[in-house]
Each structure stands twice: as C-alpha cells, then as structure tokens.
Amino acid sequence: MPISKIEAAGRGTGAVIQVVRTSLASAGFSSTSYVSILSQAITPISNTSKILVLFNATGYIQGGASVYRTFRVRVVRDGTVIKVNEQGIVGSNNGWEYTANFTSITYDSPATTAAVTYNIQANTDGTAAAMLSGTNNIELILMEIAA
C-alpha cells in the first residue's frame, strides 16, 4: 500500500506522485546464485513516469584470515537487472567482517502503467555465509516521479 499517493493533475515534471516502502530486519544467505532479499511492487499512473529506487543496507560476510571475499547486491525490475553494486574485503579473522554500506539510488523508466516489482538480490563468491542488515532495517523505497 502506498505511503502516499498525490494527484498528478497539475503537477509539473519532477513531482512525487506516490511512495511505497518495505523493510526487513536482516537476511542471511550463502550462495553464488543470487538470492531474493526484499521486493516491492508499484503501479505507475503514467507510462512516462520515472521510478526512483532507493535501497540501503549494511553487508557482512564471514571472513577468514587473509581470505578475499566478494559480496554483490543488485536491483532487479521484473527480471531485468538495472543495477549491481559489488564490494570486496580481505578477512582478518574467522568471524563476521564488515563489508560495506550498500546504498543504491537508481532512476528507472519502466514505461508502463501495469504493476512493476523491484527486487533486491544478493550473492557471494563462494560458500562464505553473508548477511544484510541495517541500523534501522534493510529498506527499499520506490518513488514515482512525474516526467
């Protein structure tokens, strides 16, 4: 359900039409294949609207002394990858290593008035356990912008 939906009539280019949000406390995984973490649908009111996709989470990966690990997070719209963020670290111990803050700001043009679903997916480069979490949860926010 939209946080807000604003009547678009009379609004100029760049006006926010609607905002939807979802969140999750944390998500753990261990896979070289991408795993779905969080998803949210939005139904644009115009096929010329743009969607501003905002995502924020902190990534952790299980380390190992002097072991290099890669952690990837991507934004997918209805099966189409629209952005990939990759971080790598060299572990200093055998515990959980802070990888990076994954912040994604993506401006997308779905060109439809049908519902579109944005999905946050993540993977690692091997069998290392990984986790996404956030100080205030993992968040995915979608904003429809008048074009």
Residue 10 has pLDDT above 60, yes or no: no
Residue 82 has pLDDT above 80, yes or no: yes
The pTM assigned to this predicted structure is 0.84
84: helix, coil or strand? Answer: strand
pLDDT tens-digit readout, 17-74: 999 999 988 888 878 889 999 999 999 999 999 999 999 888 877 766 666 777 888 9
* pLDDT band, very low/low/confident/very high, at 6 (cuts 50, 70, 90): low
Among 142, 129, 109, 108, smallest CA distance to 32 is for 129
* Domains defined for the chain, CATH in brackets: 4-145 (2.60.120.760)
Q: Given CA atoms 42, 48, 49, 54 in this order, what sign does their dihedral have?
A: positive
